[in-house]
């Protein structure tokens, strides 16, 4: 009988102890919240966009070479042998291209989504690039006008991406519509004695570099509200070679002969762009 009483008392004590322990606060650490991992941005894919900026040629030289007949003004001090004729203006256009972010290259420097990016881009832009200059020597005026109506390029791009930010260099083929003119006036009655003009497409090369950034979907510039919208800032130098303009006698004042006026078609663009990657 005594043993039964003791066994019942022990079971009751065990139940009471368990219930009391259940009321005590838990000593286990709360679970750690792990936010969901966002996918790394990739630059691989095609894209198209628009650009606008400023074009200028800070060191354009115009050279005049004497010809036959009365076209000897450089030697006699009436025409400038060389003169600076810089120009500047607005540029705006569009571009299309393709990037490939190479897996395994670059060693992952910069974290997830980082690596080497190679690509190709073609663009075409209107350029309001035109300016005239004139000089008077011994009373004879010589005027020159240089201009670029449009510029297009087909370039390779090579860069490194730090996830949504990329820095790159670029270079390749360039073409443009050059518009050059030379007029030589008499030192006596001011008649137009010699005139020459060219309006043609010239080819050459372009190179430069830039930076590009994938906009967050909350950005005001991201009107697509898509992770595929990028903005860029770019600088390009172009060289379309030299153009020789035959500046021939108009017949005024019985002038004869032909000058050769050489225009250097070289300049720079600083522009910003907006791309949509698809």
Q: What DSSP letter does each residue of 31-78 carry, written as one string? A: PPP-PPPPPPP---EEEEEEEEEEEEETT-EEEEE--STT--HHHHTS
Q: State the Rg of the chain over Cα.
A: 36
d(CA 278, CA 272): 20
110: pLDDT confidence band, cut at 50, 70 and 90?
Answer: low
**Hunting for tokens 């001090």 — which residue is that?**
77
Q: What is the mean pLDDT of residues 150-168?
A: 95
Look-up of token digits 């005027």: 143
The band of 187, judged by pLDDT with boundaries at 50, 70 and 90, is confident
Better-scored residue on pLDDT, 87 or 125: 125
Lowest mean pLDDT among 101-110, 116-125, 180-189: 101-110
Which is more confidently placed, 142 or 227? 142
Task: Pick the closest to residue 166 from 121, 219, 233, 222 (CA basis).
Answer: 233
Check if the beta carbon of residue 118 is closer than 8 Å to that of residue 169: no
pLDDT value of position 224: 60
**Pairwise CA distance, residues 190 & 141, whole Å:** 8
Q: What is the mean pLDDT of the chain?
A: 85
Query: Which pLDDT score is estimated for 30?
Result: 62
| pLDDT(64) > 60 | yes
pLDDT tens-digit map of 221-247? 556 655 688 999 999 999 999 999 999
- Copy the structure tokens of residue 63: 């050279």
Predicted TM-score (pTM) of this structure: 0.80
Question: What share of the chain has pLDDT > 90, as a percent?
Answer: 64
What count of Cα atoms within 13 Å lies in the side-chain half-sphere of residue 49?
24
CA distance 206 to 269: 10
Q: Measured between alpha carbons, how far is 77 from 228 in angstroms, rounded to an integer?
A: 62
Token look-up 């201009």 returns: 147
Q: Which residue has the tokens 């309006």?
A: 199
Cα(223)–Cα(226) distance, integer angstroms: 8
């Amino acid at each position: 009988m005594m043993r039964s009483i003791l066994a019942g008392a022990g079971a009751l004590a065990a139940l009471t102890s368990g219930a009391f322990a259940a009321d005590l606060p838990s000593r286990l650490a709360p679970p750690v919240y792990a936010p969901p991992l966002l996918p790394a941005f990739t630059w691989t894919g095609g894209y198209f966009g628009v650009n606008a900026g400023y074009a200028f040629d800070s060191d354009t030289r115009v050279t005049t070479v004497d010809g036959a007949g009365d076209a000897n003004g450089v030697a006699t001090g009436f025409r400038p042998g060389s003169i600076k004729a810089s120009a500047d203006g607005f540029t705006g256009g569009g571009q299309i291209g393709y990037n490939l972010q190479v897996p395994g290259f670059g060693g992952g420097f910069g974290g997830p989504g980082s690596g080497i990016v190679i690509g190709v881009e073609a663009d075409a832009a209107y350029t309001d690039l035109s300016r005239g200059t004139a000089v008077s020597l011994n009373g004879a005026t010589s005027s020159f006008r240089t201009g670029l109506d449009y510029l297009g390029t087909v370039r390779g791009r090579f860069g490194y991406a730090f996830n949504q930010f990329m820095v790159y260099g670029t270079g390749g083929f360039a073409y443009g519509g050059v518009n050059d003119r030379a007029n030589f006036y008499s030192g006596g009655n001011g008649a137009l004695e010699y005139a020459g003009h060219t309006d043609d497409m010239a080819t050459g090369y372009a190179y430069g570099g830039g930076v590009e950034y994938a906009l967050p979907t909350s950005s005001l510039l991201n009107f697509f509200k898509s992770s595929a919208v990028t903005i860029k800032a770019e600088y390009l130098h172009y060289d379309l070679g030299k153009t020789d303009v035959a500046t021939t006698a108009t017949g005024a004042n019985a002038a004869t002969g032909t000058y050769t006026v050489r225009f250097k078609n070289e300049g720079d663009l600083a522009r910003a762009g907006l791309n949509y990657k698809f």
